[in-house]
Structure 1
Amino acid sequence: MSDGQIVVSGLTKQYRRVRAVDNLSFEVQPGRVTGFLGPNGAGKTTTLRMLLNLVKPTAGTATIGGHRYADLHDPIRTVGAVLEASSAHKGRTGRNHLRVVAASAGLPASRVDDVLELVGLTPAAKRKFKGYSLGMRQRLGIAAALLGDPQVLILDEPANGLDPEGIRWMRDLLKGLAAGGRTVLVSSHLLSEMQILADDIVIIAAGQLVRQGSVSTVMDSMSTVARVRVRTPDTEKLTEALAGGEATVEPGPDGVIFISGVDAPAVGAAALGAGVLLHELVTERPDLEGVFLELTQGKAAIR
């Protein structure tokens, strides 16, 4: 088993009358970014906390490289985690905060400047924590998580507080870490960003696994199919030209029509044959948000 493989098997957490996580099983592979997705209350944070030995499971196991987090010989060099925005002494600078963390973990002080540079906080290293924005605190938390140069990185909503430039920076950082062979598990509500960032996704709802696999495999498996968006001054004539086949035509806003059942070349050929002028002919593929909503719709967050 790879040192960086995460294996969740039959994981369950019962809080009195609420089962926050229910017999959950999935794997996260090294060298890939895995998005951990679910509605509010789905059990994502509880799962991550059980993985990091912060919450005791009612049943099941969660291992990293075949070991429970509690049994890792040197956890800071194996796993870096950020479950919430970094907290630190308000009067301490960002650099000094990281120096304290490094010293307590027996890490060389040279790593502090390395990770500050990596997360883009070098210019703010001497500023006190109380003056940090939420986005800067997120970066500081990631810097602390990377101090031990870990094989595995686990992040819960890491883009909170980041502006568009910061989100792009985060994407490049995590993709780079995965490309270097690290295991990256990211919980996020930013589905459009996850579609760009993640190689694989794990979707849960009501504490149970709903779907897992590569982003493309999960999206291709859904009933939500591609459709063709068309704008033409003669919708009736085009609709007649497509009648009798597999095409389904639905009206849209601002004179647009949506055609499903056939692809864009077929629509274009029908329009040409009928002498219909097309102002727009675009294939619209389902996005991750649509797939996510279809998979989780009607699944209660708390039972």
Structure 2
Amino acid sequence: MSDGQRSPTRDGQIVVSGLTKVYRNVRAVDNLSFTVEPGRVTGFLGPNGAGKTTTLRMLLNLVTPTAGEATVGGRRYADLTDPLRHVGAVLEASSAHKGRTGLNHLRVICAAAGLPKRRADEALALVGLTPAAKRKFKGYSLGMKQRLGIAAAMLGDPRVLILDEPANGLDPEGIRWMRGFLKSLAQQGRTVLVSSHLLSEMQLLADDVVIIAAGQLVRQGPVDQVIGSMAQGVRVRVRTPQADVLTAALKAESVTVATDEHGTLLIGGVDAPTVGRAALTAGVELHELTTERPDLERVFLELTAGKADIR
């Protein structure tokens, strides 16, 4: 495929600018702005009802924004010529006629999109489904259906891939495969935007994250920077039957001491060796002394606390 054919999305950058969607009296997305860069996997995170799926649907011209704009490579999805050649998307598990084989399902899409028939075979090979190419869709597991959906998204060899909860229902092996596959696409210079609730997996997969809540941007940036911005930072986790004594012994240090629901001390401002020395000096018995570093889950829960939609 020539550069000229790819020119609308040559850089693959996704730009969401002031995007808003109002359903009656509900602002599902509220003046949302963020950027997704090529060559990186970006995790799109938020609690239930945050507006993630609505945002993705507006980006793909499936929902009309109330205000604002979303573009891919500087152009709206609706204005792209042969959009499947530029943007691949999976917003739900793949669906197909239950009596049709995976190969024929993809060939139908190729015919409708004006893509060469060989792309069906190539896409199946790309996602590791060649052995199941001639099996009927009704016999596919959920993991196979997820792979078939990604194969369909890759038929046009797009520079941009947009996925909504692609790991739903996958077993650990499937999740590991998905992680490696998406990372390899980003390493090729493609733009990969992934919405997911699997925060531990997103910490392994994503280069950047965009976190939203109640339809608004909460935080955006490289994963390490977002985690590093957490106010609590590194803390020491301590279990002891003499919590009061240890807390008093640490008064000379510039520490913060909190207690979780199990009575475990969460100490900030000092490292584990300092806490250990204070405990030894005070004759305090320790049952646990662990350094806790912030992770994406802790940051996410702190940033979105009380903002999940439970209507």
TM-score w.r.t. length of structure 1: 0.91
1:255 to 1:207, Cα distance in 2 relative to 1, 3 A: closer
Return the match for 1:52 from 60, 70, 90: 60
CA distance in 1, matches of 2:258, 2:25: 46
Deviation at 1:109, TM superposition (A): 2.2
Checking the alignment, whether the CA contact within 8 Å between 2:230 and 2:294 is kept in structure 1 is no
Matched, 1:174 2:182: yes
Which residue is 1:244 aligned to? 252
Q: Can you list the C-alpha shifts for 1:16-51, whole angstroms capped at 9, x where unaligned?
A: 111111111100000111111111111111111110
Which residue is 1:70 aligned to? 78
Matched, 1:18 2:26: yes
* 3-state SS, counterpart of residue 293 of structure 1: helix
Which residue is 1:28 aligned to? 36
Matched, 1:117 2:117: no
The runs of 5 or more residues in structure 2 that have no matched partner are 1-8
Return the match for 2:47 from 19, 36, 39: 39
- After superposition, residues 224-235 of structure 1 pair within 5 angstroms as 224-230=232-238
Deviation at 1:82, TM superposition (A): 0.2
Return the match for 2:205 from 197, 201, 208: 197
The runs of 5 or more residues in structure 1 that have no matched partner are none
Return the match for 2:266 from 252, 258, 265: 258
Deviation at 1:222, TM superposition (A): 2.2
Matched, 1:211 2:239: no
Which residue is 1:136 aligned to? 144
1:248 to 1:16, Cα distance in 2 relative to 1, 3 A: closer
Checking the alignment, whether the CA contact within 8 Å between 1:42 and 1:302 is kept in structure 2 is no
Which residue is 1:291 aligned to? 299
CA distance in 1, matches of 2:212, 2:240: 41
Checking the alignment, whether the CA contact within 8 Å between 1:206 and 1:302 is kept in structure 2 is no
CA distance in 2, matches of 1:280, 1:17: 51
Deviation at 1:225, TM superposition (A): 2.3
* 3-state SS, counterpart of residue 55 of structure 1: coil
Q: Can you list the C-alpha shifts for 1:212-254, whole angstroms capped at 9, x where unaligned?
A: 1111222222223221124568767654542321234456688
CA distance in 1, matches of 2:250, 2:310: 46
Matched, 1:91 2:99: yes
**Most deviating of 291-300 and 202-211:** 291-300
CA distance in 2, matches of 1:120, 1:29: 27
Checking the alignment, whether the CA contact within 8 Å between 1:95 and 1:126 is kept in structure 2 is yes
State percent identity of aligned pairs: 77
Checking the alignment, whether the CA contact within 8 Å between 1:37 and 1:201 is kept in structure 2 is yes
One-letter code of the match for 1:84?
A: E
Calculate the aligned-residue CA RMSD, in Å: 2.4
1:253 to 1:37, Cα distance in 2 relative to 1, 3 A: closer
- After superposition, residues 137-156 of structure 1 pair within 5 angstroms as 137-156=145-164
Which residue is 2:114 aligned to? 106
Checking the alignment, whether the CA contact within 8 Å between 1:205 and 1:300 is kept in structure 2 is yes
Deviation at 1:256, TM superposition (A): 5.6
Which residue is 2:134 aligned to? 126
Deviation at 1:285, TM superposition (A): 1.2
Q: How many residues were matched structurally? A: 303
Return the match for 2:165 from 157, 169, 183: 157
Checking the alignment, whether the CA contact within 8 Å between 1:6 and 1:27 is kept in structure 2 is yes
**Most deviating of 5-14 and 275-284:** 275-284
* 3-state SS, counterpart of residue 54 of structure 1: coil
- After superposition, residues 266-285 of structure 1 pair within 5 angstroms as 266-271=274-279, 280-285=288-293
Deviation at 1:124, TM superposition (A): 1.5
* 3-state SS, counterpart of residue 259 of structure 1: strand
Checking the alignment, whether the CA contact within 8 Å between 1:224 and 1:291 is kept in structure 2 is no
CA distance in 1, matches of 2:237, 2:296: 19
1:247 to 1:53, Cα distance in 2 relative to 1, 3 A: same
One-letter code of the match for 1:190?
A: L
One-letter code of the match for 2:66?
A: T
Which residue is 1:222 aligned to? 230
CA distance in 1, matches of 2:245, 2:27: 56
